[in-house]
Amino acid sequence: MSLPIPISTKGQAFDLGRLFGGKSGDPMWTLIDRNLPEVQQMIDQTKQSCMAKLQMTGPQRSLIREPRPTPKEKCLVECVLKGIGLMDSVSNRLNLQRVEQLTSKVTEDNKLAIALGCSLAQSCNRSINVPSNKPCEAAHQLNQCIGRHLDRNRVKLHW
C-alpha cells in the first residue's frame, strides 16, 4: 500500500517537516516547540531533587554538553537520567521504552521520529564502554552521546 505524497503546487515550497509531522498535521518543529517545554520542566524538577539528594547547592551549569564534568556532576547526570526513567537502573544503559514514550510525547506519536529516537538510543547504548559498577561514568558517556544527537537534530533540552 503506498502513501499519497503531496505534490507542491506552482509557487509553493514543499515542506518535508509537514510530511513527517504528528497526528495534528502540524510541522515537526511546531510540535517540538509546543511539547518540549513539558519534558524540560520534568527534567528541571528532577535535577532539583537530585541536587538536594547529592547535597549540591547553588546554580548548577548545564551538563548536557559538558565534556569534563566533575565526578559529582557525573553522578548528578546519573540521578537525572534515572530519575526521568531514561537510564535503566540495572543495565546503566538507555531505556528504549522510555525513549519511545518521550519521543512520542514530544512529536505527538510520529512513528518516524520514534524509530529514529530509538535507533539513536541504541547507538548510544552500543557506544558505552564502562563496567556496570560505574553508573556515574556510564551516565556521563550516555550524556555525551545524547547531547551530540540533540545538537544534530536541533532539539534544545538541558540538564
All structural domains of the chain, each given as residue ranges with its CATH number in brackets, are 26-56+63-152 (1.10.238.20)
pLDDT band at 159 (very low <50, low <70, confident <90, very high): confident
User: What average pLDDT does range 98-122 have in this prediction?
Assistant: 94
User: What average pLDDT does range 110-127 have in this prediction?
Assistant: 95
pLDDT, residue 68, reads 92
- C-alpha span between 55 and 98 (Å, rounded): 27
Q: Does the pLDDT value for residue 101 go beyond 80? A: yes
Full-model pTM? 0.81
> 113 CB contacts (<8 Å, ≥6 apart)?
20, 28, 103, 106, 107
Buried b (16+ CB within 10 A) or exposed e, 43-77: beebbeebbeeeebeeeeeebbebeebeeebbbbb
Question: What average pLDDT does the structure give for the chain?
Answer: 86
Per residue in 46-96, pLDDT tens?
999 999 999 998 777 888 888 899 999 999 999 999 999 999 999 999 999
pLDDT band at 155 (very low <50, low <70, confident <90, very high): confident
Grid cell digits, residue 144: 555525551
Per residue in 127-153, pLDDT tens?
999 988 999 999 999 999 999 988 887
pLDDT band at 22 (very low <50, low <70, confident <90, very high): low
pLDDT band at 13 (very low <50, low <70, confident <90, very high): low
| C-beta of residue 93 within 8 angstroms of C-beta of residue 128 | yes
The letter for the amino acid at 25 is G
What percentage of residues in the chain have a pLDDT greater than 70? 84
